[in-house]
Amino acid sequence: MSKQPTEIKSMSSFKRLANGSVTTPRGFRAAGVTAGFKRSGAPDFAMLVSDVPANFAGAFTSCTFAAAPVQVCRKRVLFCDTIRAAVINSGNANACTGDTGISNAEATCVLAANKLGINSNEVVVSSTGRIGTQLPMDTVKKGIELAVASLSEEGGELAAQAIMTTDTVPKSIAVELELDGVVCSIGAMTKGAGMIDPSLKVPHATMLCYITTDVKISNALLSDMIEENVAQSFNRITIDGDMSTNDTVIAMANGLSGVEIRPDTPQAATFREALLAVMQQLAREMVMDGEGVTKFVHVEVFNARSTEDAKLCAESVANSLLCKTAWFGGDPNWGRVVAALGYSGAKFKPEKVDVFYDGVPVVREGGDAGTPESDLVDIVRKREFTVSVDLHDGDESYWVWTNDISYEYVKINADYHT
């Protein structure tokens, strides 16, 4: 079976820090404030600032209806060498808003830059919330003024709270690692609980992720690492099969530790491993906090003819509404799993297929494995379990993290209006 990553506590090369956030690395400040985007009055505007110019990389949604802030950020990645700040609002996606939306996104960067005393090209911007509504620029101005006044080295957790929409908890992390005898760190925050099935490309969830580090690393190498690690983290999760117009990952590296990461070195390998652990942990937390989620489900497919066949099978099961509702009900109905495999488009021989729940045989050679249903019920009623599929048709594998679909998911999305 393919080995899936697990929740990180610490590894030999790095350790997770208690209460870590995007402001754990040297030289980063952040703020989270209430500007007035949300009718609820909850925090809805965040700012993240590096004290010095930071190298950076980004990955963005592949949705054709990419939001205005995504389009602005893509230009920054392609044409700018460094950035200093990120501005994020929740409660309005600024998506499908035409030329006015682009102008408002750029104007947000200008307003923030003027307050911070930097160039507008050093600012990236993100939005999350309702699609098709123009940004209220008076609210943006208020948010910028409040955020700049509130910037703090302790502001990472407040920023993580301010970018939430239907999330129930903020999601932050930081890890510490030693490179060349110097203690360095990576911090990150993310949001995303629904409309999650990212297909992020570099450069080109809603999920938003901001990563900070105090190492020095070139834009090209950082971009390579983000692209590789996105494929093993955020692009491996699906909550509801819907890709957002606003999915964004931005990584900033300001070099204030004095440690430089060069390609093909042990330091680069260690940093890449720690970065992947951070991204996988946040991806996991996003699924665990999915809208109305009661189950976390690992879906893995192995011994496929090709990676693409394994991926088709895994994603088909992970996105199946019939599978998801069965999991919610604690129903081990394996017929829904094999049906999803069958319509996935993957090439395999059904008479060879085995399916397991937490290693317990459910299907053998395409038919009932004979395991008592009561045993299977005990498995699928757990908070977390694994569905494994052995195609017995090759050597390739693929895994996905997903969840169930509950009554609460329908209620949240039927009533949703930030």
Number of CB atoms found within 10 A of residue 40's CB: 10
Assess contact for 249 and 59: CB atoms under 8 A: yes
CA–centroid distance for 344 within its chain: 24
Q: Would residue 206 show up in a list of annotated catalytic residues for this protein?
A: yes
Q: Residue 205: pLDDT above 50?
A: no
Q: How far apart are CA 384 and CA 372, in angstroms?
A: 20
> What's the pLDDT tens digit per position in 342-378?
999 999 999 999 999 999 999 999 999 999 999 999 9
- Give mean pLDDT, residues 91-107: 96
Q: How far apart are CA 372 and CA 377, in angstroms?
A: 9
Higher pLDDT, 165 or 113: 113
Alpha helices, DSSP H, located in 179-298: 219-230, 266-288
- Give mean pLDDT, residues 180-198: 79
Q: How far apart are CA 137 and CA 150, in angstroms?
A: 20
Assess contact for 82 and 54: CB atoms under 8 A: yes
pLDDT at residue number 199 = 52
Joined together, the tokens standing for residue 226 give: 């983000």
Q: How far apart are CA 172 and CA 231, in angstroms?
A: 20
Assess contact for 226 and 59: CB atoms under 8 A: yes
Closest CA to 173 of 331, 21, 353, 394: 21
**Average pLDDT score, the chain:** 91
Assess contact for 106 and 113: CB atoms under 8 A: no
Contacts of residue 216, Cβ cutoff 8 Å, sequence gap at least 6: 55, 253, 255, 257, 258, 259, 260, 261
- The predicted model scores a pTM of 0.91
Q: Is 385 in a helix, a strand, or coil?
A: strand
- With bands split at pLDDT 50, 70 and 90, how would you rate the model's confidence at 204? very low
Phi, psi of 104 (to 5 degrees): -70, -35
Which residues define the annotated binding site? 165, 191, 206, 291, 413, 418
- Percent pLDDT > 90 in the chain is 80
pLDDT at residue number 311 = 96
Q: Residue 195: pLDDT above 50?
A: no
Q: Please name the amino acid found at residue 171.
A: K
Q: Residue 126: pLDDT above 50?
A: yes
Number of CB atoms found within 10 A of residue 339's CB: 16
Q: Residue 317: pLDDT above 70?
A: yes
> What's the pLDDT tens digit per position in 150-184?
999 999 999 999 999 878 889 999 999 999 999 99
Assess contact for 201 and 210: CB atoms under 8 A: no
Q: How far apart are CA 223 and CA 250, in angstroms?
A: 10
Q: Is 384 in a helix, a strand, or coil?
A: strand
**Residue tagged active-site, from 206, 213, 245, 371:** 206
Domains of the chain: 10-288 (3.60.70.12), 296-415 (3.10.20.340)
Residues 354-371 as b/e (b if ≥16 CB within 10 A, e otherwise) read: bbbbbebbbbeeeeeeeb
> What's the pLDDT tens digit per position in 385-416?
999 999 999 999 999 999 998 888 778 777 75
DSSP state of 183: E
Assess contact for 310 and 302: CB atoms under 8 A: yes
Q: Is 38 in a helix, a strand, or coil?
A: coil
CA–centroid distance for 242 within its chain: 14
pLDDT at residue number 290 = 75
Assess contact for 292 and 411: CB atoms under 8 A: yes
Which residues define the annotated binding site for substrate? 165, 191, 206, 291, 413, 418
> What's the pLDDT tens digit per position in 259-292?
999 999 999 999 999 999 999 999 999 888 877 7
Q: How far apart are CA 352 and CA 366, in angstroms?
A: 6
Assess contact for 182 and 259: CB atoms under 8 A: yes
Q: Residue 12: pLDDT above 80?
A: no
Q: At what angle do helices 137-150 and 98-116 cross, to 10 degrees?
A: 30
